[in-house]
C-alpha cells in the first residue's frame, strides 16, 4: 500500500539538531525513512544525535551568521526535499533591561538564521520541486505572551510573518512553507532555568492536558509536514499546545 506519511527517498536538512526539538525532529525524520543532514554549533552533541539515527550526515555550522549559513549550503551535496529550521534560543528579560546586543542575538538565532537559510537555498536553487519547509515557531508572540518574553515573542512573530509571503512566492515551484507552533516543551533548557521544580509542576496544571509537550511530539508534526500527506498545505501553522491557548 502507498504510505503518504513516509519520508523514504527524501533528503531532509534539520537545523538545531544537537538538542531539544531539533534533535527529536532529526530522529523522527530518520525513523520515517529520510536521509537526514543535521547541523548545529556543538560538535559533540551533534555527533550524539547522529549516533541515535540510522544513517545520515552532519555539518557543523553557526547559523547565527551569514558566513555560517553560506558555508552550510556549500557543503550540502545535491538538492533537498525538506528543511526544518529548529535552531533557536529562549531568553527571558524584561524590555527595560534589554539592550541592543540582547535583541540582535535573539533575532539572529531565532529569526534571521531561518530567513537567511531559506533565502540562500532558494537563490542557489537547492530545493527540489514539491519540497517542504518547516519552521519552528511558538505560541509566545503568536498566540499569547509573558512578562520578559517581548523580544523572544517578536522573533517568533517575525517567523510567522515571513512564512505567509514566502509560501506565496514558492507556490509556483510547489514548495510548501509552514510552521509548527508549540506550547511549552520539556527539553534540557528547563534544567538550566531559574524556575524551580515546584513552579514548573504548578505551571503544567495551567494546560488542559496537565502536562508539557514532549520533543518527539513536535517531531511527529514535522514528519507530517515534510511528507506527501501535506502536499496541499502551505502558509499555515500547526498548533500543538496541550490546549493552553483555549483557556
Listed residue (88, 90, 176, 85) closest to 129, CA to CA: 176
Does the annotation count 220 as an active-site position? no
Listed residue (206, 216, 217) closest to 244, CA to CA: 206
Report how far residue 217's alpha carbon sits from residue 59's, in angstroms, rounded to the nearest whole number: 25
User: Which pLDDT tens digits describe the chain residue by residue (247 residues)?
Assistant: 589 999 999 999 999 999 999 999 999 999 999 999 999 999 999 999 999 998 999 999 999 999 999 999 999 999 999 999 999 988 888 999 999 999 999 999 999 999 999 999 999 999 999 999 999 999 999 999 999 899 999 999 999 999 999 999 999 999 999 999 999 999 876 555 566 788 889 999 999 999 999 999 999 999 999 999 999 999 999 999 999 999 8
C-alpha cell at 131: 519540497
Backbone phi, psi, residue 134, to 5°: -125, 125
Q: What is the residue-wise DSSP string for 57-111?
A: EEEE--TTSHHHHHHHHHH--S-EEEEEE---------GGG--HHHHHHHHIIII
Q: Where are the beta strands (DSSP E) in the chain?
A: 11-15, 35-40, 57-60, 80-85, 127-136, 176-182, 237-240
Report how far residue 91's alpha carbon sits from residue 73's, in angstroms, rounded to the nearest whole number: 28
Asked if 181 contacts 126 with a C-beta cutoff of 8 angstroms, the reply is no
Return the DSSP state at 182.
E
Asked if 235 contacts 177 with a C-beta cutoff of 8 angstroms, the reply is yes
For 127-140, b/e burial (b = at least 16 CB within 10 A) is bbeebbbbbbbbbb
| SS3 category, 244 | helix
Q: How many C-alpha atoms does 137 have within 13 Å on its Cβ side?
A: 29
Catalytic residue among 152, 207, 224, 244: 152
Report how far residue 231's alpha carbon sits from residue 11's, in angstroms, rounded to the nearest whole number: 16
What was the pLDDT predicted at 124? 97
55 sits in the region (left: phi over 0; alpha: psi -120 to 50; else beta) called left
- How far is the first Cα of the chain from the last one, in angstroms, to the nearest whole number? 41
113-123 vs 66-75: helix crossing angle, rounded to 10: 40
Report how far residue 118's alpha carbon sits from residue 113's, in angstroms, rounded to the nearest whole number: 9
What was the pLDDT predicted at 194? 61
Amino acid at each position: 500500500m502507498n504510505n503518504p506519511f513516509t519520508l523514504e527517498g527524501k533528503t531532509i536538512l534539520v537545523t538545531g539538531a544537537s538538542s531539544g526539538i531539533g534533535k527529536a525532529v532529526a530522529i523522527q525524520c530518520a525513523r520515517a525513512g529520510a536521509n537526514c543532514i543535521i547541523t548545529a554549533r556543538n560538535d559533540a552533541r551533534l555527533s550524539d544525535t547522529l549516533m541515535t539515527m540510522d544513517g545520515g550526515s552532519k555539518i557543523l555550522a553557526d547559523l547565527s551568521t551569514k558566513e555560517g549559513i553560506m558555508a552550510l549550503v556549500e557543503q550540502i551535496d545535491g538538492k533537498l526535499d525538506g528543511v526544518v529550521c529548529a535552531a533557536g534560543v529562549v531568553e527571558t528579560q524584561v524590555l527595560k533591561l534589554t539592550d541592543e546586543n540582547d535583541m540582535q542575538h535573539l533575532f539572529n538565532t531565532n529569526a534571521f538564521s531561518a530567513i537567511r537559510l531559506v533565502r540562500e537555498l532558494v537563490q542557489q536553487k537547492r530545493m527540489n520541486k514539491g519540497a517542504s519547509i518547516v519552521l519552528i515557531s511558538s505560541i509566545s508572540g503568536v498566540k499569547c505572551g509573558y512578562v520578559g518574553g517581548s523580544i523572544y515573542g517578536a522573533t517568533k512573530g517575525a517567523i510567522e510573518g515571513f512564512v505567509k509571503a514566502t509560501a506565496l512566492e514558492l507556490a509556483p515551484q510547489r514548495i510548501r512553507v509552514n510552521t509548527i507552533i508549540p506550547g511549552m516543551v520539556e527539553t534540557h533548557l528547563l534544567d538550566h532555568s531559574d524556575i524551580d521544580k515546584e513552579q514548573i509542576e504548578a505551571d503544567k496544571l495551567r494546560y488542559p492536558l496537565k502536562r508539557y509537550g514532549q520533543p518527539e511530539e513536535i517531531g511527529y508534526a514535522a514528519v507530517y509536514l515534510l511528507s506527501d500527506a501535506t502536499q496541499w498545505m502551505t502558509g499555515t501553522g500547526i498548533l500543538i499546545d496541550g490546549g493552553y491557548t483555549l483557556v
